[in-house]
Amino acid sequence: MTHPTQRQSASATADASAPGITGNQFPPPASSRRGLVFLLVLAMVGAGAAQMSAALLTLTLKATELDAATATTTISISSAVAGILTLIALPLVGALSDRSRSRWGRRRPFLLLAALAFSVGGVLLVAAGTVPLFVLAHLVITFGFVTANVSVIALLTDQLPEDGRGPATALLSMGTPLGALFGMAVAVPFGDNLVPLVGIPTALAVLSLLALALKVRDLRHPERRPRSTAAALLGIFWVNPIRHSAFAWVFTSRMLVFSGVAALNGYQAIYMLQRLHLEPSSLGTAILMTVVLNAGITMLVAPVIGRISDRLGVRKPFILAAAVILGLGLVLASTASNLPMYLVACTVVGLGQGVYFAVELVLATQILPDKTNPAKDLGILKIADNLPVTIVSALAPVLLAIGATSAGPNFSALFLAGAMASIIGGFAILFVRGAR
């Protein structure tokens, strides 16, 4: 018979050997690793479906339903507030996850929290009858996506060895585009009916996050919780850019590249309604075509580029090429005057994103300041994905007003600014030291 204290000691020893918790890591065997990667990708697809269907379609439909004349202003305000929430939540959720000593593990409680947020946010979005409720729904959905994203990527870093993350990272990077594809695909039969348009992607997000939470081997952290101090609290939102210059350059590069993506994604639906003169009932189908092209190209390109990058042992040349291609796609979008021309532009953007997603996250995980507690640093890095939403939302009204006519806002100025940001971001990655 084992004494309780012996069992406790054995448990602590087992936890100490768990992946991503202390020094000696024992990654799961190949078979369970494949199952883990599948669940991680499924969770990212689900979270991407709930978030991207809102960003690309349902928020626009709801804002137009509330007041078509002020829809662009409503979306800009809501996106700006959601962007501020993201800036705070990303590092905070990551740090709280790293510091968690819950009996359920470090990541599992936050997977469950993300599922709850998606459920509440979806209900609020469908039911919202005022702009404040609309903004609240956007905030709750955004929080769900942030929490899911940080938790899933932290699990990848926790449980897979650094030299075995390439293919898994490429698959995980396709999660959001595939989620967007799913979210737009379910929109086709339902027109502008918000209940299924919101409900189906939300259900996928909740179920996939619950499945990962139930199946993942997320052991408790055996060490005592670090003492909370004012310095520790401020440290949640800070990485010294001088001491960790590689991290700072990756952050800067990612922020600029994603500014280009935000310029397109954030205003694509309004662009189609006001510039291409599509009817709201056909908006879902049109966006689905753009997502199919984007996700299809990404799925074809990312695994191939990921293998080539692994074989050559280099990342930066691919990131630079991806940023330039993405910028070219935005230039083409700025000149598009009809849907077929715009679809060509989306194809080029998809090619750039496919190359980018295949390699950039691998490079990012190699230069993290604290690899034993990755969620906080990954959360700060993910700010660079979302800060552009706030920046673009703030600058978009000015850019759209440049040369605006009675025909509508100047979307070309917005897309060209995004192209410049993306290309500059590609060149910024060349300053990263410690990675090729």
Q: Which residues of the chain have pLDDT under 70?
A: 1-33, 162-167, 219-237, 407
pLDDT of residue 231: 58
pLDDT of residue 166: 66
Give the pLDDT confidence of 148-205 residue by residue, as tens digits.
Answer: 998 998 888 777 776 666 667 777 877 887 888 888 788 778 878 899 999 999 999 9
d(CA 189, CA 127): 21
The answer to whether the beta carbons of residues 152 and 40 sit under 8 Å apart is yes
pLDDT of residue 277: 83
Please state the three-class secondary structure of 55-105 as a single string: HHHHHHHHHHHHCHHHHHHHHHHHHHHHHHHHHHHHHHHHHHHHHCCCCCC
Question: CB-hemisphere CA count at 13 Å for 372?
Answer: 11
Give the pLDDT confidence of 195-247 residue by residue, as tens digits.
Answer: 999 999 999 999 999 999 998 887 666 555 556 555 565 666 677 788 888 99
Kindly state whether residue 5 falls inside one of the protein's structural domains.
Answer: no
How many domains does the structure of the chain reveal? Answer: 1
Q: What is the pTM of this model?
A: 0.70
Kindly state whether residue 23 falls inside one of the protein's structural domains.
Answer: no
pLDDT of residue 33: 67
d(CA 234, CA 303): 38
Residues in the chain: 436
pLDDT of residue 341: 93
H helix count then E strand count, the chain: 17, 0
Composition of the chain by helix, strand, coil, percent to 5:
80, 0, 20
pLDDT of residue 163: 60
d(CA 366, CA 347): 30
- CA 61 to centroid of chain Cα atoms: 22
Kindly state whether residue 436 falls inside one of the protein's structural domains.
Answer: no
Cα-based torsion angle of the residue sequence 119, 380, 82, 385 in order, rounded to the nearest 10 degrees: -100
Please state the three-class secondary structure of 212-263 as a single string: HHHHCCCCCCCCCCCCCCHHHHHHCCCCCCCCCHHHHHHHHHHHHHHHHHHH
CATH number at residue 363: 1.20.1250.20
d(CA 312, CA 406): 53
Kindly state whether residue 16 falls inside one of the protein's structural domains.
Answer: no
Diameter of the chain measured on Cα atoms:
84
Q: What percent of the chain has pLDDT over 70?
A: 85
- Domain containing residue 67: 32-222+230-431
Which residue, chain included where needed, has tokens 């906080």?
376
Identity of the amino acid at 318? F
Kindly state whether residue 22 falls inside one of the protein's structural domains.
Answer: no
Contacts of 88 (CB under 8 A, 6+ apart): 237
Kindly state whether residue 178 falls inside one of the protein's structural domains.
Answer: yes
pLDDT of residue 6: 39
Kindly state whether residue 286 falls inside one of the protein's structural domains.
Answer: yes
Kindly state whether residue 26 falls inside one of the protein's structural domains.
Answer: no
Joined tokens for residue 425:
């971001």
